[in-house]
Every structure is written in structure tokens, then in C-alpha cells.
Chains A and B, each alone.
Chain A
Amino acid sequence: MIAYILRRLVLGIPTIIGTLLLLFVIFYQISDPDQMARSAQGEKATPESILNWKQKRGYSIEESELKILAEEALGKEANEKELLAWKLKNGDMPSYYNTRKEGLQKLTETTFYTFTRKMVTFDFGLSDYDSEAIWVKLRNGVIPSLFITAPIFFCGLFLSVFLSMLVAMFRGTYIDKIVVFGCITGMSIVYFLYIIGLQFVMAKTLKWFPISGWSDNHMVYFLILPWIIGTLATVWESIRFYRTIMIQEINSDYIRTARAKGLGDLPILYKHLLRNAMIPILTRVIMALPYLVTGSLLLESFFGIPGLGRMTVEAINFNDLPTLSAVAYLSSIIFILANIVSDISYTFVDPRVRLK
């Protein structure tokens, strides 16, 4: 068992390296540092400040070295302006391989190495947008995110498992058909419409809940409406998913045997059916856990909840790559861990499963 876990963890390392490479290519290779510097500084950006910004964040070679290089290339008599233009144009740090250096420094004096070292040591640095430490932002965002997503998820899980067992009991009848059609209808409605529509009806017209806002002391007051909306919007898909599983299980021999023994419906449902349907349910629950941490993009930005989802939207809007890559990196690590945990948990639910 422990050997298995260790091996899975070791096998997770290439995946993490692959993820890092992918993130690096997407975030730092395709987007242009000059452009990023300009959008970070806005109107008041000057060539000096852009160079300064690039050097501070490791996109450009350090000033002391760059000065020598520029003077070598242009000669002593070049004026300040020409030097600056040359520095901006040719001063970018190489991405993967530095030909100007010797030995190991060929690999370490590159943007990819700096990026990887930062990520692996979880030193995310400062945000480009508000120059706040990314770790602090992440820590402040996780709790509101969990408060909004976890109740939605577990409420939806309870509802959908319960309803799908009922539907499996009545399979083939009109109840089943109505529920399935209802699920398809509910799934076809855009998440937006749930949010905008229910916010309009319940908060604006009926004034049952506040429209949006956040206060650490009165969380529940602001969270009830997002909970209702989130559950309503996501429950349909899982009812249909669990119905399929329940129907596969309810047709098996052990259910027929239990029925032949004269067992009642309720004991059959949650003693026999539920326990045997546990593997797919568990997989789904554990695979959903990473998404609970990252929060809900739409709900948080519509209800003004300062969670990770809203932080991500802000980072997208302001081209804040360090924050985005930190969020993506952390959530991929959690995702890989969840994958391993879900495999291990099978042994607890189903004694027939042996890990090798």
C-alpha cells in the first residue's frame, strides 16, 4: 500500500513537470514581456520604466551585465537613447538555453529555470496587478471560496444521490421520464440565467436576500442566495449521472436476491444499492474537490464575494500572469493528488480492489 502510494507520487512528478512546461509556454512564451510591462504600468510607461520592470521580474538580463553588453555592441560613443533602445531590444533573458554563460549557468540563467524554481519552491512573488504578495491573496481567497462551493457541492450531492435512487426505483415509469426530461431541461439553461434571473427575482424584486456583498461576520446572510443558485444550476447533471449508475446496479443479481429474500425497499436502497454504487460516487466527489478550492468564477464575481474565483477573473482582466500561473499550478497539484487519493479510497469502499 505504502509502496503503491510512493510510486504514484513519484509518477506524479513528470506530470507536474509537464504542467509547468505547458504553463510556461502558454503564459511566458506566447505573450510578450514588453506588452505585459506596458499594460501593467498603463499610460505613464517610459522605455526606462519598462526595462526596469522587465529586469525586476527576470525577463531581462541584469543591468550591470546588460550595460557592458550594450557598450560592446554599440561602442563607447553611443548616446543614452541608443543604449536604452538596444537594451530593450536585445536584453531579453533567453528562454531555455543561455549561450552567453558557461557550464551549468547555461541552463540556470534562463526564464524557464527562474519560473520553475519559483513554482517548485512555491515562491510566487508579487502580483503584477496590485503588487500584493500572491500567497497572501491566495490565503485570503480560499476561505470565502470554500464557504461558497462546499455547501453547494455537498447539498447537490445529497440531493442527487437521494433523488437518483428514488428514480432508479421507479425506472421506466412516468416519474422516471419526467425526472429525466426535467434534468435535460435544467442542464440546458445557461448558468447565467440562473444567476441573473434568481438574483433579479429573489433579491431585487422580492427582497428576500441581499443582492450582493460580503462581510466576514455575516457570511451566511450573503451566501444563502449563491448556495440556492449554485445547487439549482448544477444538480441536474449529477442526478442524471447517478441515475445511470443506480440503474446499472439495480438490475444486478444481488438486488434481485435481496428482493427475493423479502427485504423492504428502503433497506435495499441504502444498504445494498448505495454501498455498491459507492465507487463512482467517490470518484466524482474526490475529483470535484480541487474545484471546490478554486472557487466559482461566476458566482463570486456576480455576488461580489472576495474568493479565488473572483481573483482569477481580476487576474484575467488585468493580464496578471504571475497570479494566473500560481492558481493554475496549485490547482493542478491538488488535482494530481486528488487523482491518487481517489484510487486509494477504492480499497476502503470495495475490498475486492487490490492496489499493485
Chain B
Amino acid sequence: MNYTLTTLAAKAAENGISADSFWDYKASNILTPAVTLLLVWGALTMYRNTFWGPRLKMAFKSLTARFGLLLAAIFFVIAFMDSISWISESSKEEQAKYSVALSKPRTLLDRSFSLFTGVPEYKFKEKASSAPMAKTEFRESDIIDPETGEKKRMKAGLTYTHIMGTNSGGIDTCYAVLKGVRPAVLIGTLPLLITLPIALIFGVCAGYFGGKFDDLVVFIYTTLSSIPSLLLLIAIVYSMGKDMTAVCVALGVTSWVGLCRLVRGETMKLRELEYIQAAKCLGVPIYKTILRHILPNLTHIILITCILTFTALVLSESILAYLGIGLAGSWGSMIANAKSEIAQDPVIWWNLVFSSCALFMLVLSVNIVGDALRDALDPKHSGE
């Protein structure tokens, strides 16, 4: 059986939810750079700020924190590369002749991967799982140039080594692990887009205005948090139809309570401070007081909670994947699939080990960054 990208996608769709149904590649091409620019702009503004700048510098003074930042940056760059894709124009006429895979948009990651190894990524296919360091030899006619659609001229048989082996579908594990970065980053960030506005608006308004609105917000979040979050999550995903939007909405709805509680408490404290009272007396409009005096004082709480929520989201996706509602191609579903492989004889360990290693490194690096920021920005947690 010939495993091309289409069969890879079909295989992935069997195991979980396809990420492509949510983000068409064109939307992804526009949105990803926009979001990246926004994030970089935010980080730069904060770094240039006279108050936060020195604190950020202090946070990343230690070697571990810098290592974590570097590792996290690498993961984010990989996710970025995997989000930019296009169909090669010249290959379109030839696609029917050679392979369906050529008509698929190939991401920057695919292209650089095939450039790096010399073999197009959809050719990393075996008939079944093979151990790490297994070699594949390609015949001359096997290699098609993805750009021109021509068969490449190879003098001797080109060999490709599956450094991490292949999975039961014959797909190179190294490639699958790299492709898993994007779902992980998406599942960590997209629910935050729901969490942040809800938590901030509810938290700040409840804390600032108090009274009836405060009672309402407290009622909503006690009700939400009194249903066990995993059950709520599963219920929402099941009732909305298992697609990526449902997973993100469910994760967003269940994760805003913690941040909202924190923001509400902090706003109540800030409300009584002299400068807020002064602003009130001087007749500054409420929205201006909130934007200029309250929100900047919540920055550290928001930042730290976001980073720590990211890791929690990525880890909880693996539990969802075990229950059959994870994202396609994510590390969580790789681990869930590897559960049965580990019981076989001979033991197929590489899928489990490499996917969970990648997940571990992403979560660890983000955790280190979050911890460093927390120590530097939040006076309560400085261990001095």
C-alpha cells in the first residue's frame, strides 16, 4: 500500500480530529504571521517598558531560564513553519501524473525537511513499523522533485535513515513528532483566546463595580467549577460534535475560572488604593481608569497565568486524546496509540518514547519560563 500524505491525513482523521477542518491553509497563512507579530510586538513593548524591562531581564538572568526560553522559542518557530503552506504552482500540471501528494499544500516545515534530508517527506513510508535507525533505499524513479514534478536523477541509490523509526502506519516517527508541534501549540494558545476576554471582562468588572454584577459572576463561576472540569470538558466536546472548534471552546470554557477569580480579587484590592480613588475624584471615566490604572497592574498575573495555563492545556489534551477526542497528529494521540504497541512482543517503544519526550520538552521549557517570570514579577513567590 502506498502511503502518501493523503493516506496520512486519512489515518490521522481516524485517530482524532483533523486540524485542517478548522484552519484552512490560507487562513492559517494570514493569521499565523499576524498573531506572531502581535506577540512579538507585545513582548518588545514590555521589554522596553521602564518598569517591566529590568524585571524581565532579571527573570532571564539564570542559565536555566535562558535554556527554557531558547527551547520554547525553537518549538514556536517549528509551529510557525508548520503553519505557513502553499501549493507549488509548477507542480499542478504534473500532479495527476505522479502523485496526489503534490496537489496538497506543503508547509514550510515539510519543504525544509525534504530539503534537509534530500527526500520529499511523503516518501518516508514503510509497509509497517520499523525500529530506529532503519534504512530505506530509494530507487531512481522513487524520487520526484516536489517543485517541478520531475523524476530526480540519482546516481546511486539514495538511502534515508529513519532515526526514530516508523510507526505502525509506516510513517517516519521523526516527521510525525515534528508535525505534532503545531497541534500542541494550537491547543495551548487557542483556548486562551476564549479564556482571556471572558476572565478579564468578568473579573475586572466584578471586582471594580461589585454589587449585583459581582454576585452574578461569582454565581456563574461557582456553578461552572462545581462540575468536575473533565466531565464538563467531555460533555461539551461530545455535544458540540467532535471537531477542533469544540475542543478549543470546551477547554476555553473550563479554564477561565481560575484567572477570573485571581483578577477579581486583585481588582478589589486595587480599587481601594489611593491612585484609583484619586482618578475617580478627578472625574476620569471608568473605562479609562480600568484601561490605564487597573489593567497594567494586572499584567503580571495575566502573563503568568497564561503561561501556566498553556502547559495545563497541552497536558490535558493528552487525556482527551486517550478518550478519543484529541487532535489528529498530536503527541497525545501518538501516545494513546502507542499504548497498545508497548504490549507487543517485540516491544515497539520508539513512538511512545519520542512523542512523550517532545511533549515533555515543550511543557518543561514553558514551565521553566513561567517559573522564572513568576519569581521575578510576583513578589509573593520570590523564594527569598
Q: A and B, one complex?
A: yes
Across-interface contacts of A324 in B (CB, < 8 A)? 231, 234-235
Contact (Cβ within 8 A) A22 B227? yes
Report how far A294 CA is from B324 CA in the complex, Å.
21
Report how far A180 CA is from B336 CA in the complex, Å.
29
From known contacts A187-B367, A192-B356, A298-B319, infer whether A172 and B384 are also in contact, taking CB-CB under 8 Å.
yes
| B381 close to A (CB within 8 Å) | yes
Contact (Cβ within 8 A) B319 A184? no
Stretch in A25-33, A61-69, A76-84, A274-282 with 4+ CB within 8 Å of B: A25-33
Q: How far is the CB of A10 from chain B (nearest CB, A)?
A: 14
- Additional A-B contact list (20), CB under 8 Å, known A22-B227, A191-B319: A19-B227, A23-B235, A27-B235, A30-B239, A31-B239, A172-B384, A181-B64, A188-B311, A188-B363, A191-B318, A192-B336, A192-B339, A193-B335, A196-B335, A196-B338, A244-B381, A312-B231, A316-B323, A332-B228, A335-B226
Interface residues of B in 22-43 (CB under 8 A from A): none
Counting chain A CB atoms within 10 Å of each CB, the highest count among B222, B352, B360, B363 belongs to: B222
Report how far A319 CA is from B367 CA in the complex, Å.
36
From known contacts A188-B367, A291-B228, A328-B235, infer whether A15 and B222 are also in contact, taking CB-CB under 8 Å.
yes
Report how far A328 CA is from B254 CA in the complex, Å.
14
| B223 close to A (CB within 8 Å) | yes
Top 5 closest pairs, chain A to chain B, by CB: A30-B239, A18-B223, A188-B364, A188-B363, A332-B226
Across-interface contacts of B323 in A (CB, < 8 A)? 313, 316-317
| A140 close to B (CB within 8 Å) | no
From known contacts A196-B342, A319-B238, infer whether A188 and B360 are also in contact, taking CB-CB under 8 Å.
yes
| A327 close to B (CB within 8 Å) | yes
Across-interface contacts of B228 in A (CB, < 8 A)? 290-291, 294, 328, 331-332, 335
Interface residues of B in 348-373 (CB under 8 A from A): 352, 356, 359-360, 363-364, 367-368, 371
Report how far A181 CA is from B383 CA in the complex, Å.
13
From known contacts A189-B360, A190-B318, A294-B228, infer whether A172 and B367 are also in contact, taking CB-CB under 8 Å.
no
Contact (Cβ within 8 A) A328 B231? yes
| B224 close to A (CB within 8 Å) | yes
| B380 close to A (CB within 8 Å) | yes
Q: Which residue of A lies closest to B382 (CB)?
A: A247
Report how far A184 CA is from B231 CA in the complex, Å.
27
| B70 close to A (CB within 8 Å) | no
Q: Which residue of A lies closest to B331 (CB)?
A: A190
Q: How far is the CB of B23 from chain A (nearest CB, A)?
A: 24
Report how far A244 CA is from B382 CA in the complex, Å.
8
Report how far A312 CA is from B232 CA in the complex, Å.
12
Contact (Cβ within 8 A) A297 B319? yes
Report how far A342 CA is from B63 CA in the complex, Å.
41
- Of the residues B223, B318, B381, contact of A22 by C-beta under 8 Å: B223
Contact (Cβ within 8 A) A23 B360? no
Q: Which residue of A lies closest to B324 (CB)?
A: A317
Report how far A336 CA is from B224 CA in the complex, Å.
11
Across-interface contacts of A15 in B (CB, < 8 A)? 219, 222-223, 226
- Of the residues B238, B240, B318, B339, contact of A316 by C-beta under 8 Å: B238
Q: Which residue of A lies closest to B384 (CB)?
A: A172
| B315 close to A (CB within 8 Å) | yes
Counting chain B CB atoms within 10 Å of each CB, the highest count among A184, A243, A331 belongs to: A184
Contact (Cβ within 8 A) B339 A196? yes
Report how far A190 CA is from B362 CA in the complex, Å.
11
Across-interface contacts of A196 in B (CB, < 8 A)? 335, 338-339, 342, 352
The binding surface of chain A is classed by DSSP as: helix
Contact (Cβ within 8 A) B315 A172? no
Q: Which residue of B lies closest to A29 (CB)?
A: B239
| B154 close to A (CB within 8 Å) | no
Contact (Cβ within 8 A) B239 A298? no
Across-interface contacts of B343 in A (CB, < 8 A)? 204
| A14 close to B (CB within 8 Å) | yes
| A116 close to B (CB within 8 Å) | no
| B100 close to A (CB within 8 Å) | no
| A34 close to B (CB within 8 Å) | no
17 A-B residue contacts at CB 8 Å? Answer: A15-B219, A23-B235, A31-B239, A176-B383, A187-B363, A190-B360, A193-B352, A196-B339, A204-B343, A297-B230, A298-B319, A324-B234, A332-B227, A332-B228, A335-B228, A336-B226, A339-B222
Per-residue CB proximity of A316-328 to B under 8 Å, as 1/0?
1101000010011
Across-interface contacts of A298 in B (CB, < 8 A)? 319, 322
Interface residues of A in 146-199 (CB under 8 A from B): 171-172, 176, 180-181, 184-185, 187-193, 196
| A200 close to B (CB within 8 Å) | yes
| B262 close to A (CB within 8 Å) | no
| B295 close to A (CB within 8 Å) | no
Interface residues of B in 270-324 (CB under 8 A from A): 311, 315, 318-319, 322-324
- Of the residues B224, B226, B319, B342, contact of A200 by C-beta under 8 Å: B342
Report how far A29 CA is from B236 CA in the complex, Å.
11
| A46 close to B (CB within 8 Å) | no
Report how far A244 CA is from B347 CA in the complex, Å.
42
Across-interface contacts of A312 in B (CB, < 8 A)? 231
